[in-house]
Structure 1
């Protein structure tokens, strides 16, 4: 719990005690104390904290909210709460103003905890799996995959900071109809390069990267697969191409700052019989029936418009069947919570997958699915059209080459997953305050520069005393910076609870802005020793918090720019 949260918690307890005292003395007659809110008011001029307790008690005690608020204030114990003043506002809110001296405790807390500052124990070691990207290994990673990678990896890091035990997982779709079409597409490219007429099949893959893959195989082995049995040839082509594509995917994601704990093969579920046993289990429970030689899941029980085929009449399981088995496997591995990041085009799959888990006896709320909207690439003010099937798309590798890992990751994380991202290539490359990641990294580099300049003057980099830190409390800019840093642990808790890493991106953008405002208003390396020490401690603390946030987001913190 942060310093600020501890103060708020103390005031909450004292408010409850004030109500109890008023009840004991016969001033307020109520049964059980209703739940109430103590929070920061929307308008800062209304104070530091505000409560609605007077309003929620008013109906029970049959008095006006303002009268109730007056009674509560009279009985409120303010010692050790940092409350400087209380006032009744509007229909009966109680606003509190805190003595700004409480902010003097922020810097010692940040500097003592260092890289651990902001860490909370919300998760209490609960095991969580985050599965993200899981792109079909039939081509290169594209912009949508890049957004999923940035979101999934930063979410996993956020949950770790919040006290969860997290596993990152990539599901390799190396089975099913898309692999069959992949094989036919590779074969067609193989024939074409060797001078034969062979069109890409309907539903096939047109990406030019397949030409590169097949050409590398021909460079190595020549045309010896032309005379091979068609089934064996396709199996070999797929095995060769999958190994290459997965190698490229792993390398690209690693360069993007994403490393997985588990790479899970869909084919392994079929080979082990787990898909079949899962369908048998659901059939035994009465959720699967046979019709026209196929097996159908009663997915209308879970809100679907129609039941879904899980095993075709030819005996081959559908992708949905494998996906159900995969999610069953996740929970059987001991995860308390499973989080999937899917594209918005999978929205219809959410209810049926949660329903399938319920059918297997797994509480559906243990499966959480984040749907992610599309990415629009903007260049020179115009939308760049992309289509994976036609091969006209920007790859993640090309994006990193163009704007760098940091700009790409931060741009994707900055927006709510439910919002379409308009990725402006020109802005992402610009070195200006309009570019959010540049703005933050420039703040960090400037903080480092100040500390380098202070190196000769500062032989002692310890924590200043209370008297020195109080020198920071006269300035609005310094108080705002301290308050923002005090909020960080609570931001971690809230972002983790809501599964919203974009909150941290906005937080660090605001923090950088407050630092720039402070820097433009105050000198750090002043002659007065006590003030200089206090401001340098403020600089070190701000640098630490920015580094901690950027670490969660997977964005580098450069010391020089």
Structure 2
């Protein structure tokens, strides 16, 4: 339990006792004790913690919030606690100001835990599956995949820090209409390259990668497959090109710092009979019906405006049916406690109907199934939207973006805003080496601390005592307070499925450090004070490193 957790528990216990005393004295009656929530006030003059408990009780007590707050404060006993004073603000907020001594154990915690500072066991023993990117394997990775990759990978890291056993998963869409179209495109290009006068499918994949695949295939195998039966040849070409694409996807993602635990094939759901098994489960539950030769799911029973087709009249399952079977595999077959998907905004309407289908299968979708909807990003150069693609086609390749601004800036910038926010990715700013560039600003703070520690190693007096109580300046206390928030920021990011909270935290921490550094000299004649300040910046360096590690971003020691 971190120092802030201990303080929170102490304040709640003291407030609960004050409430009991107030009720016992006859000041007012309370039949049901409400949950007591603590918040950190935005304005520092309001103290370190605040509660709105007095605003929760008027209906029960028949008393105004201000009276309740005054009564509680009169009954609060702070002797022997970390509380310095208790004040009432506004209509009845109760604010708690702490003794300055609470700051010092924070540095002791960081020094003791080092790389584990910020970790918790909140979800220990639970399994967590995070499926993200899952790009169509018929082509190269593009910028939309880049944002989804950064969001998903960091969410997985955050979940790991909260105690979950995490599985990163890529769902390979290697079945369905897009694969049929892929095979038709490959086959047509293959035959054209061998001199046949055949038309290219109107809705086929026109990318250069299709042509390159078939040139390479012919270079490896010649024309020996030209006389093969068309369906058999298409299957062969699909297998060849998909494996090449997946190898490239894995390589691109590795360069982006993403490594998956599981690559799950959609086709395996058909091969294993999982699709049919799931259909049987839904039928037995009474959640399907037949109409116009198709099999339908009763989505309207779960809040949707219309029912959805599971199996078309031609006997081919829909994408929706495959998705149900896939999630049934995750929850029922593999037994994950919680599953998260990162999807593009165009999938928003799919969320509710899938949650309904999972509920129909007996899965607690309300608590254990979440979808992070990711909005689009625009790339800007010189204040104008840019395409930046080195390849022909409509999509900006992931590798182009990484080559342009680097992995660190790419991952950091994609998480400057919450996933559900549209935002502009400023290429010029991402490459700028100045304090205006947020990733440079954070990394520079880390490098500056490392430089100070290197320079001062020989100056530190090993015999001097470590007296953290010598840290008394407001900038020192402010920096410690920001350091103390790190464990809670991780929990909040996991709870809200918002990795941008960690990104913004690193900026706040770097800002607090720079404010401290500009106001307080680390190298001073007072050896005891100097040792205390070195301990403070060492703790800051460790927390910056831990936070950047969660983000999958390097923490350079020199810049």
SS at match of 2:415: helix
User: How many angstroms does 1:389 deviate by?
Assistant: 12
Counterparts of 1:36-435 in structure 2, within 5 Å, are 36-332=36-332, 333-365=334-366, 366-385=368-387, 391-435=393-437
How many angstroms apart in 1 are the aligned matches of 2:227 and 2:388?
37
Question: Offset of 1:42 from its aligned partner?
Answer: 2.6
Match of 1:392, SS? coil
Tell me, which stretches of 5 or more residues in structure 1 are unaligned? none
| Partner of residue 532 from structure 1, selected from 525, 530, 533 | 530
1:13, 1:429 → 2: CA distance? 50
Change (3 A) 1:30 1:392: closer
Q: Which moved more, 1:194-203 or 1:230-239?
A: 194-203
User: For each residue in 1:26-51, what CA deviation from the matched residue of structure 2 results, as whole angstroms up to 9, or x when unmatched?
Assistant: 34443333334332223222222222
- Cα deviation, 1:315-365, whole Å, max 9, x if unaligned, reads 222222111111111112111111111111011111111111112121222
CA contact under 8 A between 2:48 and 2:97: conserved in structure 1?
yes
- Report the Cα offset of residue 390 of structure 1: 7.5
Change (3 A) 1:353 1:98: same
Corresponding residue for 1:30?
Answer: 30
Contact in 1 for aligned 2:388/2:400 (Cα 8 Å): no
Whether 1:513 aligns to 2:514 is no
Name the structure 1 match of 2:439. Answer: 437
Provide the alpha-carbon RMSD of the alignment: 2.1
The TM-score, its normalising length taken from structure 1, stands at 0.95
Q: Which shows bigger deviation, 347-356 or 56-65? A: 56-65
Residues 362, 35 of structure 1: CA spacing in aligned structure 2 closer, same or farther, 3 A cutoff? closer
1: CA distance, partners of 2:463 / 2:294: 73
Distance 1:72 1:391, change over 3 A: same
Distance change (3 Å), C-alpha of 1:199 and 1:428: farther
Kindly indicate whether the alpha-carbon contact (under 8 Å) linking 1:386 and 1:392 is maintained by their aligned counterparts in 2: no
Question: Would you say the 8 A contact 2:310–2:317 is kept in 1?
Answer: yes
Q: CA deviation at 1:501?
A: 1.4
2:471 is matched with which residue?
Answer: 472
Report the Cα distance in structure 1 between the residues aligned to 2:68 and 2:251, rounded to whole angstroms: 64
In structure 2, distance between residues paired with 1:49 and 1:100: 14
TM-score when scaled to structure 2?
0.95
SS, match of residue 259 in structure 2: coil
Residue 195 of structure 1 deviates from its aligned partner by 4.5
CA separation of 1:484 and 1:226: change in aligned 2, threshold 3 A = same
For this pair of structures, how many residues does the alignment match?
A: 557
Question: CA contact under 8 A between 2:390 and 2:400: conserved in structure 1?
Answer: no
Tell me how far 1:126 sits from its aligned partner: 1.1
Structure-2 change in CA distance of 1:349 and 1:57 (3 Å): closer
Out of 312-321 and 154-163, give the one that drifted further.
Answer: 312-321
CA distance in 2 between counterparts of 1:26 and 1:297 reads 58
